[in-house]
């Protein structure tokens, strides 16, 4: 699938078929993630791939943003201790979020090009997810990406076009 | 260009040819940006496209991360006041950063598919850029994306593979 076609065709999918996604494909998605740039090439991202139904059920309970029943969730984490060492508070507080998000976008575009549906989720309780996945204190979940074969694909929310683009400088 | 080919082939370009990029192409890049998801569909991003050489020179002076002499810089901003209204402090402090980053990744992948080079830059002085572009207080620059025809394309930094991927739960 062409890049721009994938970018425009990707939807946030929140309704999934009840069938698993091949593990090799899920690994491919995480590998696509790490081809994102990272601030100062820090690469402090960590991933937990969750497909176990009981763990997914528990994650869902602490994640208001996780809708539907995806057969897989990729938990994008950051080693905030390493990020702090490498990039100071800019690294641990800002770049970790940005790197995770660019990584998530790679995952979602690749998934869409393989006819999979995804949704990126920031609304969850990081500490609870951390505990559920036995993550050490410094490995902090930043984003969840649900992955599955879409049951329903919503239409695209209309993109704002007014007052969004400025040329050379702001014109209020 | 195929999605995964673009994801793996994109480099952070910091050396550009001295020739302009067509305005229509730069607008297309910004439009690709807004096809990223945004937290709660907030779409609080704002863009300033800068191609004026004198403005670029001034931005470069306050942006340690901006290397080379790109003929264009897309300044990705966020209306943090609107983001706060829509998503509380989670919106204004976290989702703005993540949305900007997913947007930047779309811009960079699309640019790469058009044989353009880009670099995403977080190391700059937001207030100075804000002033240079006459941005109102609530419209805060989050990321710069330099765009141009690449003069030199660096090789890919080796991606970490050890201790990055975990399955079902963390194993220290």
Closest listed residue to residue B99, CA positions, set B11, B4, B31, B33: B33
Would A137 be classed as within a structural domain? yes
What distance in Å separates the CA atoms of residue A64 and residue B129, rounded to the nearest whole number?
37
Would A31 be classed as within a structural domain? yes
Would A170 be classed as within a structural domain? no
What distance in Å separates the CA atoms of residue A92 and residue B65, rounded to the nearest whole number?
17
Would B160 be classed as within a structural domain? no
Please report the sign of the dihedral spanned by the C-alpha atoms of residue B146, residue B152, residue B153, residue B158. Answer: negative
Q: What is the count of structural domains for chain B?
A: 1
* pLDDT of B172: 72
* pLDDT of A171: 84
* pLDDT of B171: 84
- Judged by CB atoms closer than 8 Å, whether chains meet at A36 and B122 is answered as no
Would B155 be classed as within a structural domain? no
Would A79 be classed as within a structural domain? yes
Would A157 be classed as within a structural domain? no
CATH number at residue B108: 3.40.109.10
The DSSP element (H or E) to which B111 belongs, if any, is: helix B96-113
3-state helix, strand, coil in chain A (%, to 5): 40, 20, 40
Residue from the list A120, A136, A159 with its beta carbon closest to the beta carbon of B35: A159
The domain in which residue B24 lies consists of 3-148
The parts of chain B modelled with pLDDT lower than 70 are none
Interface of A with B in 51-90 (CB under 8 A): 51-52, 55, 90
Quote the mean pLDDT of chain A. 97
Q: In what order do the strands lie in the sheet with A165-167?
A: A165-167, B45-50, B72-79, B139-148, B117-121
Would A69 be classed as within a structural domain? yes
Q: pLDDT of A29-39, one tens digit each?
A: 999 999 999 99
Residue from the list A3, A133, A160 with its beta carbon closest to the beta carbon of B3: A3
Residue A172: pLDDT above 80? no
In the structure encoding, which two tokens stand for residue B45, read together?
A: 């991003």
């Amino acid at each position: 699938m062409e890049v721009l076609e994938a970018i425009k065709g990707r939807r946030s999918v929140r309704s999934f078929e009840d069938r698993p996604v091949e593990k090799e494909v899920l690994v491919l998605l995480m590998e696509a993630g790490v081809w994102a740039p990272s601030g100062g090439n820090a690469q402090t991202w960590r991933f937990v791939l969750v497909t176990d139904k009981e763990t997914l059920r528990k994650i869902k309970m602490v994640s208001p943003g996780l809708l539907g029943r995806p057969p897989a969730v990729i938990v994008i984490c950051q080693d905030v201790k390493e990020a702090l060492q490498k990039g100071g508070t800019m690294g641990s507080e800002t770049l970790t979020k940005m790197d995770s998000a660019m990584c998530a976008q790679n995952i979602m575009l690749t998934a869409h090009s393989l006819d999979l549906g995804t949704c990126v989720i920031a609304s969850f309780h990081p500490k609870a997810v951390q505990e559920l996945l036995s993550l050490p204190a410094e490995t902090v979940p930043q984003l969840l990406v649900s992955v599955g074969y879409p049951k329903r694909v919503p239409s695209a929310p209309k993109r704002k076009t007014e007052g969004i683009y400025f040329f050379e400088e702001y014109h209020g």
